[in-house]
Homo-oligomer: A and B are copies of this chain.
Amino acid sequence: MALIVQKYGGSSVGNLDRIHHVAEKVIKAKQEGHHVVVVVSAMYGETDRLIRLASALTQHYEPREYDVLIASGEQVSMALLSMALNAKNCPARSFTGPQVGIYTDNIHTKARILKVKTEVIQRELEKDRIVVVAGFQGVNEHGDITTLGRGGSDTTAVAIAAALKADECQIYTDVDGVYTTDPHFLPAARLIPRISFEEMLELASLGAKVLQMRSVELASKHNMPIRVLSTFSDGPGTLVTFEDKTMQKRLVSGIAFSREEAIISLSGVPRKLGMEGHILGRVSEANIEIDMIAQNASTRDDTSDFTFTVNRREYQRAMSVIEELVTELDTMINIKTNSKVAKLSLVGIGMRSHAGVATTMFKALGREGINIQMITTSEIKISVVVDEEHLEKGVQAIHQAFELDKAESDKNPPFFE
């Protein structure tokens, strides 16, 4: 008998039929002999409806009251799921975040979980009931309702799983796991059966929107395995877990990419102490988020080339700031930009110990005649910026070069331990 925490997102409980379907899945796990705690998000569209109400009421709402308002969304879905379970003769009880004792800090609308009490849940599990818990919400030291910010239900599930020392935390979504790259984009993309927390973090932050980043961080910290599964189809999904030898042998795990990028290159930037901070400071003061940064010293004179990327919708604003700055600096800085680029990132813990990953990647792109406009690297990731029109070809070339479409078969242990 294992203890499993399952989390179902908003689209999984988006209507009454789906709530019945989720109830069946929960009952199946229970019938397999497991204790089950279920974390639910608000029904699809409900949180947005509540936010629209608040926005239509006033433009300056108190964060505390905003949290009170939107926390009601999960209260509805948890009650309905619990009703559906009880109606199917599966004893269940639902609890809000504050009722369970999910303690957070005081940062309304994006609180962080500090502590999860387990008494209430354990009392109910001992009575052999399913425990349904509202995701996304908690209570602060003053007894006020707090919410964790978008996607916070994943974090709730992982935090409860960690506090209960559960055997597995299952995150049910509308995709059936984590893929080597977006399968809508590249049909050859393959489901990754096991992936390390670290790789998942890189993939999550790079645009593979399967799991909320904070939940992966938390799972990693507590060594709590997360299984990403589909609510709507069967299958083993992807197990996100601590690093093992098999994963290390694998060179790369997946390719993440994001469109909607814009690149700004400055060449001839005087090499003065603090110059980079000066440039980026002005951009971020304008509340423009900078993604990638690369700098190279020029070999010809005492200047640098300085390149960074921003989200495309902030490109015009970023350019105004930069042009103003260049005028102020009164030097011979050249600006080169491209607002139609994409970022392509290769992720894999294997690349830590295997040289040549970058070479293989760049060669693959070169063979396709794709010009690399910028490169940044981290320990387990290589990101490049290419023309957006080359993105598809690029992903395909790299996917093939690393044989990501081939099943790992004997290279991997069985899906379930």
> Interface on A for B, CB 8 Å cutoff?
16, 19-20, 50, 53-54, 56-62, 64-66, 68-69, 71-73, 75-76, 78-80, 82-84, 86-87, 92-94, 96, 99, 120, 143, 145
Contact = CB atoms under 8 A, between A and B. Distances in A.
Contacts of A71: 75
Nearest to A16: B57
Given A120-B143, A143-B120, A83 B69 contact: yes
A61 B83 contact: yes
A27 to B, nearest CB: 14
Contacts of A79: 54, 65-66, 68-69, 72
Contact of A75 (B61, B68, B87, B120): B68
A72 B96 CA distance: 11
A61 B79 CA distance: 10
A395 to B, nearest CB: 43
B76 A61 contact: no
**Copies of this protein in the complex:** 2
A69 to B, nearest CB: 4
A134 to B, nearest CB: 9
A83 B60 CA distance: 8
A82 B53 contact: no
26 contacts: A16-B53, A16-B56, A16-B57, A20-B57, A53-B76, A58-B87, A61-B83, A61-B86, A64-B93, A65-B79, A65-B80, A65-B82, A65-B83, A65-B86, A65-B93, A66-B79, A68-B75, A68-B82, A68-B96, A69-B75, A69-B83, A72-B72, A72-B75, A75-B75, A96-B145, A99-B143
Contact of A94 (B19, B65, B84, B143): B65
A58 B84 contact: yes
Contacts of A59: 87
Contact of A54 (B50, B61, B80, B94): B80
A58 B84 CA distance: 7
